[in-house]
A and B are shown apart, each in its own frame.
Chain A
Amino acid sequence: MERSEEAAEAGLSNRWPELLVALFLFVMGIIAVIDSIRVGIGWEEGEGPRAGYFPFYIGCILLASSGWILITALMKFKRAQPQFASWTELRSVMQMLVPLTIYVAAVVFLGIYVSSLVLIAFFMKVHGKFGWLATVITSIGVPLGAFLLFERWFLVPLPKGPIELMLGL
């Protein structure tokens, strides 16, 4: 199964993703343990367990389990591994992840309405090959609908940027 897939299409093996994710979990364990020791893991006379008491043991479990995953990943590092994803698949994922990251950054600076408009228009035009009319209607319609639903009916303010400020919204 694994080999036939590799023969069918080249891609990224599980080797590095497995290792890096386990390493990330291990580092999170270290962070939890260090900070728990800082706030105290012992017993406070008359008060009971200190703030770090519970997270310390959680951190230890995290260290042990991710350490185990790390060791097994290292032990079979040289062996043939199942495929994580083929390069074509990874490219499709990136086609979503890159615009998504830019979108989130844009929400921070421009607010949610303008960013959403651009995101939807980008996908419809570049990936969907839609005509201008459909693109314009959808990309303006969705943020406008969100505006009416949240700000007008439910009175929940959404993040706004300099452009909405200029329009006096």
Chain B
Amino acid sequence: MDELNNLMHGFSVAMTLPNLGFMVLGVTLGILIGVLPGLGGANGIAILLPLTFSMDQTSAIIMLSCIYWGALFGGAITSILFNIPGEPWSVATTFDGYPMAQQGRAGAALTAAFTSSFVGAFFAVLLITFLAPLVARFALKFGAAEMFAVQMLTFCSFVGMSKEPPAKTLAVMALGFALAAVGMDTVTGTLRMTYGVTELLKGFDFLIAVIGLFGIGEILLTMEEGLAFKGKSAKIQLDVVLKTWAELLRYWKTSIRSVLVGCWMGVTPGGATPASFMAYGLARRGAKDKDSFGKGNIEGVVAPETAAHAAGTSALLPMLTLGIPGSPTAAVLLGGLLIWGLQPGPLLFTEKPDFVWGLIASMYLGNIVGLIIVLTTVPWWAAILRIPFSVIGPIIIVICAIGAYTVHSSIFDVVMMLVFGVFGYLFKKLRYPLAPLVLALVLGDMAESSFRQSMLLSQGSLDIFWANPLVGGLMALSFVMLLWPIVPVLKHQLRRRT
């Protein structure tokens, strides 16, 4: 078992004292980010990214990915205690988590949420450990055309699987690609779409977009909801934890189903949010007492949390092996790798095994560390939420502004952050999905260069995308995904005719 040897080696990299310290720090920061409105996994990591430039690469990625785990855990705390989802993927957790807290079962709900998160993440990491090297080895054979086909599939699946209107998904995606093209063309050096503005020469950095869209946009949404925190206080006693764990064993079927949904949605870029809703829906459909859902059924906490974590974690699989992130947060991590000079993709596994396996080992450790930290420190996080928004709000804005500035030491970026923030708010309100925009912004240059390379190879003929079964299959699947939203319309038409 090559993988096990590699993994053991990875543990020896991740288990050093400073790295364990970074893990604890990362998870703690992550929970804080997950708990506070307006700071989420994606933009929290984007803000902290510049601070890691001086750190050792492996330690930096360990800390950043632990922030991600922490944020995934943190989202559950606010949903259960305050009925306020700290993260979009914990919306489904509020359905049954908050009623449980109102009935005085907050401890049980939190234990169930954290444990399910852990289970979901754990299985997803197992999947990464054993599947990622295979995918990477397979992807080594990929040429430019295959790479483009995979990217095409990524973007088409957004259109096919997103809950938002397909035209809007397509529009924000194209906007992301267009913004990515602004500035100097990487192949010919021609200036594109700058219209003589010097600030645009370096193009739009997706980190600024993430901080604006997710940070400032979220703050504006929070203001609209007129936040008043009226939460339940919570302490988790050991006997509640043990009792809940015993109870959880009964829901193994729900857990397995949610893990499968989560891993599938994470690897294909469906993301954690749809995965959590889907798992909740499935659990409800499969349950004997459907009516108890929404009134404090513990199964309604288990299903979405397991799926969200499985999806959030397995989103790193395509990022590591193909260089294609499965979620906005994975996209930010990918951006970090690029800034450190690491090209994610199949070669990373052979060229930087220390880094890759250190990261994978840290996923196991980080989730264990995360579980222990959240179970022991819940009351403190709940206390932070009682600080009024009139203090937290402006402080988060200051943090976002500092984060936007430090990416390139550019004031123009702070202004752009505000612009992206306003659009983040408008897009959210009008049901434009944000994830495809961010992913297009990150992958724009990569997709363009693989497309142009394929065109060069084929001397401008599109036939190269049908040249062999692999690339042809990927392209065909992409078109199925792209046209998927039309299927219900056609069905409806057919039914009307008969």
Tell me the A residues contacting B by CB distance below 8 Å.
14, 17-18, 21-22, 25, 28-29, 31-32, 35-36, 39, 43, 47-55, 58-59, 61-62, 64-66, 68-69, 72, 84-85, 88-90, 92-93, 95-97, 100-101, 103-104, 107-108, 112, 116, 119-120, 122-124, 127-128, 130, 138, 142-143, 146, 150, 154, 156-159
Contact = CB atoms under 8 A, between A and B. Distances in A.
B452 A53 contact: yes
B391 A138 contact: yes
Contact of B409 (A31, A84, A157): A157
Contact of A54 (B54, B195, B414, B452): B452
A124 B216 contact: no
Contact of B397 (A29, A43, A100): A100
A53 B394 CA distance: 44
A120 B394 contact: yes
23 contacts: A14-B430, A21-B430, A21-B432, A25-B172, A28-B178, A29-B178, A32-B193, A39-B190, A48-B187, A54-B452, A62-B178, A66-B171, A93-B224, A100-B418, A100-B421, A104-B417, A107-B411, A120-B391, A120-B395, A130-B391, A142-B398, A156-B51, A157-B409
A92 B389 CA distance: 12
B452 A49 contact: yes
Interface in B159-194: 165, 167-168, 170-175, 177-178, 181, 185, 187-188, 190-193
Given A69-B168, A93-B425, 6 more contacts: A18-B430, A51-B192, A54-B451, A58-B177, A85-B429, A130-B391
B402 A158 contact: yes
Contact of B390 (A29, A66, A127, A143): A127
Contacts of B51: 154, 156
Nearest to B421: A100
Given A58-B181, A62-B171, A48 B223 contact: no
Interface in B400-417: 401-402, 405-406, 409, 411, 414-415, 417
Nearest to A64: B170
B281 interface: no
A150 B165 CA distance: 42
Contacts of B188: 47, 50-51
Contact of B393 (A61, A96, A101): A96
A128 B391 contact: yes
Contacts of B477: none
Contacts, number: 180
DSSP class of B's interface residues: helix, strand, loop or mixed? helix
Nearest to A129: B390
Interface of B: 50-51, 54, 165, 167-168, 170-175, 177-178, 181, 185, 187-188, 190-193, 195, 216, 219-220, 223-226, 388, 390-391, 393-395, 397-398, 401-402, 405-406, 409, 411, 414-415, 417-418, 421-422, 425-427, 429-430, 432, 448, 451-452, 455-456, 460
B426 A17 contact: yes
Nearest to B426: A21
Contacts of A28: 175, 178
A52 B192 contact: yes
Given A32-B193, A48-B452, A103-B401, A54 B181 contact: yes
B192 A69 contact: no
Nearest to A14: B430
A-B CB proximity, top 3 nearest: A128-B390, A62-B174, A51-B190
A66 B432 CA distance: 11
Contacts of B429: 17, 84-85
A90 B168 CA distance: 23
A159 B411 CA distance: 8
A53 B391 CA distance: 49
A143 B398 CA distance: 9
A156 B177 CA distance: 31
A43 B461 CA distance: 11
A159 B405 CA distance: 8
A119 B185 contact: no
Given A14-B430, A48-B452, A159-B405, A123 B393 contact: yes
Given A62-B174, A89-B224, A146 B402 contact: yes
Given A142-B395, A156-B406, A96 B178 contact: no
